Amino acid sequence: MTGHRARLLCIASLVAIALGAPAALAAETYDPWPGLVQDIFSNRPMNDGNDVIGIEMPARAEDAAIVPVTLRTKLQPGDSRRVVAITLVIDENPAPMAAKFTLGPDANVTEISTRVRVNNYTNVHAVAELSDGKLYVSKVYVKASGGCSAPAGKNVEEAKNHLGQMRYRQFTKSEQGPATSTREAQIMIGHPNNSGLQMDQVTQLYIPAFFVNELHIWQDDSPVLAMEGGISISEDPNIRFTYVSNGAKHFRAEAKDTDGHVFEHEWKVENPGT
């Protein structure tokens, strides 16, 4: 709930910026992070996340619409705490809260990769919530792309054709021996994930937002990963992650979008093991 509210607040403030002072000017003179900690995390204390959560992004957003990001948990094997959730915040984006990932208690997810839109020169924060109830933060700085790249879609008709398609893929993790049950998988969801914040230059109206706001992934009936998504997630949301197999024979995903569509799919796990 708080996540939703924070996002709405951020959209409202963007509209105010777009209608008033130039956004670029505001960005140079003001660090949005303290305000975001208040809006998204209710001002809870932030601890140094250097040993807890890693965030990797290219230094420059080559394509503003598709910037890869990888989140990696860094807790040592003996650590009694576990990562409960990871929130990804792109400070200077129109809607900074990109996604909140909730990690299944038994799935041991250690790596999550997705793709985001980056509108501006920006800090990107990853905030991990551990089972001890504390928040740990890491950040990277990303330069906006130059040239004719834009966070909006490249092929709007094709994006509509994809709507609701779901793909699952399992990867063999080369650095892991055959004895381990650590797996790597990917879920793709066809969706324009329209940010809705661009103003139509002709009508001067904002195009309505239309995006995937919820995704749940299970192995059999055990939750692996859930995502609460915002408009900063790229078109055709793509989540690649590691997890530990519980021997389940099926993988299941359910996505919901802001128009109330529900997309569901189930796949057989290749080689379930254990």
Partner 1 sequence: MAHGGSVLALLLMLWAPTIARAQEAELPVSEVAPGIFVHTGVTALMTRENEGAIANVGFVIGDSAVAVIDTGGSVREGRQLLAAVRSHSDKPIRYVINTHAHPDHSFGNAAFVGDGTSFVGHKALPRALAARGQFYLDGFRRTMGDVLIGEVRIIPPTVLVEDTLKLDLGRRSLTLKAWPPAHSDNDLTVFDERSGTLFAGDMVFLEHIPVVDGSLKGWLRALGDLTAIPAERVVPGHGPVSAWPAALADERRYLETLATDIRALVKSGKPIMAAAEHAAAAERPRWQLFDDYNARNATAAFSEIEWE
Give the binding site for partner 1 (CB under 8 A): 18, 22-24, 58, 62-66, 68, 70, 113, 115, 119-120, 144-158, 162, 165, 167, 169, 171-172, 188, 190, 198-202, 207, 234-236, 238, 240
Rounded to 5°, angle at Cα 48 from 185 and 173:
20
Shortest Å, Cβ 23 to partner 1:
6
CA distance 23 to 19: 9
Q: Which two tokens stand for residue 99?
A: 């996604």
Shortest Å, Cβ 56 to partner 1:
8
Number of Cα atoms under 13 Å in the Cβ half of residue 105: 3
Shortest Å, Cβ 244 to partner 1:
19
Task: Tell me phi and psi for residue 34, to 5 degrees.
Answer: -55, -40
Nearer to partner 1, 135 or 195 (CB): 195
Nearer to partner 1, 22 or 34 (CB): 22
Shortest Å, Cβ 46 to partner 1:
27
Nearer to partner 1, 77 or 178 (CB): 178
Nearer to partner 1, 74 or 162 (CB): 162
Q: DSSP 3-state assignment of 81?
A: coil
CA distance 229 to 215: 8
Shortest Å, Cβ 264 to partner 1:
19
Shortest Å, Cβ 34 to partner 1:
24
Answer for the pair 235, 65: CB distance below 8 angstroms, yes or no: yes
Q: Which residues, other chains included, contact 19 with Cβ-Cβ below 8 Å and sequence gap of 6+?
A: none
Nearer to partner 1, 195 or 213 (CB): 195
Q: For residue 97, list its beta bridge partners.
A: 89
Helix (H) or strand (E) holding 23: helix 23-29
Nearer to partner 1, 3 or 58 (CB): 58
